[in-house]
Amino acid sequence: MKINDQDPLLPYQPDSKRYESMKYRRCGRSGLDLPLISLGLWHNFGHGDDFKNGRSILRTAFDLGITHFDLANNYGPPYGAAEENFGRIFQKDFKALRDELIISSKAGWDMWPGPYGNFGSKKYLVASLDQSLKRMGLDYVDIFYHHRPDPETPLEETMAALDLIVRQGKALYVGISQYSAEDTAKASQLLKEMGTPCLIHQPRYSMMDRWVEDGLLDVLESEGIGAIAFSPLEQGVLTNKYLKGFPEDSRAVKDGRYLQTEKLTPELLRKVEQLNELAKKRGQSLAQMAIAWLLKDKRITSVLVGVSKPSQIIDNVNSLKVLDFSSEELGKIEQLIKS
């Protein structure tokens, strides 16, 4: 595996062997396969980021068989910037490859001023997707998500908006993110009644964040809904990045909104060190083991990774080489996490 460093002035030529090494998994009870590793554009695709680096990340990912690129209306900064930059790269490199791509976007968080730019009303969701399609230069997205539950809008209205979007041809499939087990079951039933099944749920899930195990995964299995886990590395905690201090280019230093340095306590770092030693015995990095740990459960369709450079994509894909865990390894992980 190598980083795609083709001259950006020349037409992109994808690797002819891109589908030989990637593994794919069926998404719930649908007809859609997703790569076990998907690429998220949450970070590193804003207007202040290196455009050439972002382009190399996307090229390298596709060369490795990663066909799924995940965005949202508010990814940036500023809001909308990731979709705009992805749209520029799409037009240059991927337009002729559109039918080989799964492109997703979302709406549900604060996006524009006033009462119609947030949460889950039909007004907001339809308008937001229209804006996203314009930013990306697309006729449709493959998956459109409601990004978070809305405690005020009736669930019937939100699900009706998702159904409408599919019937309008603006999305092929719909999904939800961060919904509880109970609300997921309700949403799934509503969508089934409308004739637009819920394809996928995008929950936050890692070895250190296990809320989905309290009923949600069981609901997804019974309803035939796929799952794509985000923040699999717990914002970088489940890597060896912080074992020797805080690198200046790390997220904890550069952007404290998502990972505060004070949360990286000596006790937590001791756990990470022990997990890192276990990963070494498996012939993996800690990040690779954390991804493989999620994928051991067949209910997890794909793991959504975010990277700041192409080499990290290669490292993440290499996690697929060792997906099996012994009972002793699983027991040791549980012991370390819960201690």
What fold is seen in the domain 20-234+288-323?
TIM Barrel (3.20.20)
Tell the residue number behind the tokens 């793991």, with chain if given.
303
Model pLDDT, residue 10 = 83
Model pLDDT, residue 7 = 78
Give the model's confidence band at 326: pLDDT under 50 very low, under 70 low, under 90 confident, else very high. Answer: very high
Instruction: Please write the tens of the pLDDT for every residue from 85-142.
Output: 999 999 999 999 999 999 999 999 999 999 999 999 999 999 999 999 999 999 999 9
Give the model's confidence band at 2: pLDDT under 50 very low, under 70 low, under 90 confident, else very high. Answer: confident
Q: Is the pLDDT of residue 247 over 70?
A: no
Cβ burial, residue 298 (10 Å; 0-12/13-18/19+): exposed
Instruction: Please write the tens of the pLDDT for every residue from 199-227.
Output: 999 999 999 999 999 999 999 999 999 99
Model pLDDT, residue 258 = 59
Closest C-alpha among 147, 151, 103 to residue 125 = 147
For the chain, domain boundaries: 20-234+288-323
Q: Which two tokens stand for residue 24?
A: 């794919």
Tell the residue number behind the tokens 């794509």, with chain if given.
228
Q: Which two tokens stand for residue 136?
A: 């990306």
Closest C-alpha among 139, 264, 191, 153 to residue 30 = 191
Q: Is the pLDDT of residue 248 over 80?
A: no
Instruction: Please write the tens of the pLDDT for every residue from 250-275.
Output: 555 455 555 656 778 889 999 999 99
What is the share, in percent, of the chain residues with pLDDT greater than 90? 88
Do residues 71 and 102 make contact, with C-beta atoms less than 8 angstroms apart? no
Model pLDDT, residue 256 = 57
Is-cis flag, bond preceding 232, omega within 30? no
Q: Which H helix or E strand runs over 302?
A: strand 302-305
Do residues 139 and 133 make contact, with C-beta atoms less than 8 angstroms apart? yes
Tell the residue number behind the tokens 């900064």, with chain if given.
77
Model pLDDT, residue 244 = 73
Q: What is the DSSP annotation of 18-54?
A: HHHH--EEE-TTSS-EEESEEEE-SSS-STTS-HHHH
3-state DSSP assignment of residue 116: coil
Distance CA 319, CA 324 (A): 11
Q: Is the pLDDT of residue 154 over 60?
A: yes
Q: For 53-69, what is the mean pLDDT? A: 98
Give the model's confidence band at 243: pLDDT under 50 very low, under 70 low, under 90 confident, else very high. Answer: confident
Give the model's confidence band at 242: pLDDT under 50 very low, under 70 low, under 90 confident, else very high. Answer: confident
Identify residue 182 by its one-letter amino acid code: E
Distance CA 210, CA 233 (A): 13
Asked whether the CA dihedral 187, 188, 189, 190 is positive or negative, the reply is positive
